[in-house]
Every structure is written in C-alpha cells, then in structure tokens.
Amino acid sequence: MQRTNPGKRKAPLGGTLNRRVRARKEEPEPEQFYDDSQSDGASDDEAPMEMSSSKKSKHRQAQSGSESDDIGSQDEDDEGDDDDDNEASEDESDAGPSLAAARVSFGALAKAQASLPSTRKKKGGAKDEPSNDDSDSEDSADGRRTKDDPSKNRRAPIPSRAHKHAPTEQTSKRAVTRKREVIPQTIVKARDPRFDPTAGEVDSDRFRRAYGFLDSYRDDELAVMKRTLRDATAAAKPGATKRNKKLKDAPILSEHERENLKREIASIESRKASQAAKDKHRELLDEHRKKEKELVKQGKTPFYLKKAEQKKQVLVDRFAGMKKGQVDKAIERKRKKVVAKERRDMPWARRTTT
C-alpha cells in the first residue's frame, strides 16, 4: 500500500501583502489591532492542530491494517510522517501571524512605531519621523494650510537698533479698520462768540470803543518791560553793581532772555503803531462822512472817496505834522520797501544781472 505524504500547505500571502492600504484619518488605536491579530492567530493555530490530529488518527488506522510490512519500513515511514507533520504545523503556525499582520494598515503600524521609545540617538539631534507616504502627504497638506492661512503667518521681526540711544523704527503698514462709520460722530468745536457768524457782523468801531481801556494796560506793561530790560542790561556789565547801588535789586537775565525781551517790546510797539494808524484812518473817514452828511442836507449829491483817495489823505495828514527831515526819511523808507517788493517778484535770471 503506497502512502502519500501530505504536501506542505502555505497560505496565499502574496495577494494580501502586495495590496496598498491607505491610512484613514480616524483609525482605532494600534492596541485594538494587536488584540484582533492575537485572536485571529489563536483561531488559525487551533485549526492546524485539529487537522494534524485527524491525520494522526488516520495514520494509526493505516498502521494497524498493514501488518505484512517490515518493521524497518514502518520505522522509516513513521519518522517521515513525523517530520512532515512537524513541518506542516510549523508552516501553518507561521502563516497565522503573517495573515494577521497583513490586515493591519501601514498608518497604524507607523503610529505604533512612533509611539515606541527610540533605542538609539540620531545624529544632529533629529527627531523621529515616520517614513510613510500617507503621513508625508498629511504633513504636506497641513503645511499648505498653514501657508494659505494668513493669520498663522508670522510678522517680520522688527530690526534692532544700532545703539541704545537710536530711535526705534515703527512700521507704517497699519491695518485699516473694518468698522464702517454709520452715524457720524459730532465733534464739539470751541468757538469764539466775538467772531461767530451767528452773532452778526463785527462792528470794528464799536469793538474798539468797548475794549479801548486795554490800551492803558498795554502802555503800563510796555513801560515795565523797558525798565526791566534797561536795568538787566546795565547789571550785566562787569562792576556795574559796585558803581551803582540801585542795580543790586535789578533782575539778572541771560543774553538769550534779554534778546527775547527786546523782541517782545518791539512787537508791542509795532502793534501799537499799527493800531494808531488805523485809528487815524478811521478818524479821517468819520470827518469825511460828517461833511458829506451836511452837504446832503443842503441838497448836494453825496461823494464817496475811493481807497486811493483815502490813502492819499492819510499820507497828507501824516506828513503835515512832520518836519522836512522826517518827511525825507519816511519817503526813503517807503521807496526801499517798494524796491524790495519788486525784487522779490522779479525772476531770478533778471535779478542776478541787475
């Protein structure tokens, strides 16, 4: 009776292992896969054990039925059968864990590998990174999202100063507010009732008469300032306090303060002279209006002076109370003033040739 040795049974692993499995975003933990693989491995191990036991029982029946065979051949056959059974059981036991590992996705294996502590140090202090195409694709996608999102982009660092006394640079790129002004805010502005158009037109004559008392205050202030400047200038000279005991109480002013005091005195005097000229002009116009009113009452036609005639009468009245030398000086000042104005209005090329 010929005996057929059972061939080695191997599971078709090529098809399952060569299949590419993409890791999902929400995968269970690696521990669950390990538990499933252990349970699958146990079931696979039990099946080969049952198969080997049935084969042994059939082999024993065949041994009891074949009594005519030699003892040497029985020993050789038993040894061959034992070797075949052992090899088959080993192959089937190896196939069990490999099938369980084939069901685990590469993403889960990569996560499990990353969770394990590293046993050796990498050169350059590099961090452990999973070498997986799917994980790389996720990282690249995250990187693109961070680049596209402008809120996550870092601002450029402010340049450092050259030294501690140097001013700090401030950027001029300020974001425009996105709040739209629906109702305009009313801003309260300070106003002067004297120059408010709602109060009516300004009557300069009435204003001048109402605030005429300020002229006496300005005259007193101007006299005090002149006296202070005179005493301070005299006290600044070396040995002046020894020669004149009255200068001991004089105010001590620096040269800069004395110059400022001189400018203030000149400004007050200039405003005073300008106001006196305006008053004189107003008086002449008042006299002309009074004469015209009297002539109108007599039945004559009123005559209104032009501005040129008004200026001419002002000059005539001004020079009437002057001496001949004062008149010449006034005319010379006026001539220089007119020449300077003409030179300012003259083009630069003609100005250099003359």
Model confidence pLDDT, tens digit, residues 6-64: 555 555 555 555 556 565 555 555 555 445 545 554 444 444 444 445 545 555 554 54
Higher pLDDT, 62 or 237: 237
pLDDT band at 338 (very low <50, low <70, confident <90, very high): very high
Within the chain, strands assigned E span: none
Report whether 250 contacts 232 (CB < 8 A).
Answer: yes
Q: Give a yes or no: residue 332 inside a domain.
A: no
Max CA-CA distance within the chain?
181
Q: Give a yes or no: residue 150 inside a domain.
A: no
pLDDT band at 263 (very low <50, low <70, confident <90, very high): very high
Cα 90 vs. chain centroid, distance in angstroms?
Answer: 72
Tokens of 109: 């294996």
Report whether 270 contacts 307 (CB < 8 A).
Answer: no
Q: Give a yes or no: residue 61 inside a domain.
A: yes
Q: Give a yes or no: residue 92 inside a domain.
A: yes
* The predicted structure's pLDDT at residue 128: 46
CA distance 354 to 337: 18
> Which of 269, 287, 304 is the last residue in one of the domains?
304
- The set of long-range contacts for 141-145, using a CB threshold of 8 Å and a minimum separation of 24, is none
- For residue 31, what are the domain limits? 23-66+75-112
pLDDT band at 199 (very low <50, low <70, confident <90, very high): confident
> Which of 285, 304, 323 is the last residue in one of the domains?
304
Report whether 13 contacts 95 (CB < 8 A).
Answer: yes
Structural domain count, the chain: 2
Q: Give a yes or no: residue 231 inside a domain.
A: yes
- Range scoring the smallest mean pLDDT among 73-87, 262-276, 281-295: 73-87
Collect all residues with Cβ–Cβ distance below 8 Å to 305 and sequence separation of at least 6: 285, 288, 313
Q: Give a yes or no: residue 248 inside a domain.
A: yes
Helix residue ranges, H only, 168-254:
204-210, 214-235, 240-243
Q: Give a yes or no: residue 226 inside a domain.
A: yes
> Which of 263, 284, 304 is the last residue in one of the domains?
304
Higher pLDDT, 159 or 207: 207
- Three-state SS at 85: helix
Q: Give a yes or no: residue 323 inside a domain.
A: no
With a cut of 70, say whether residue 207 has pLDDT above it.
yes
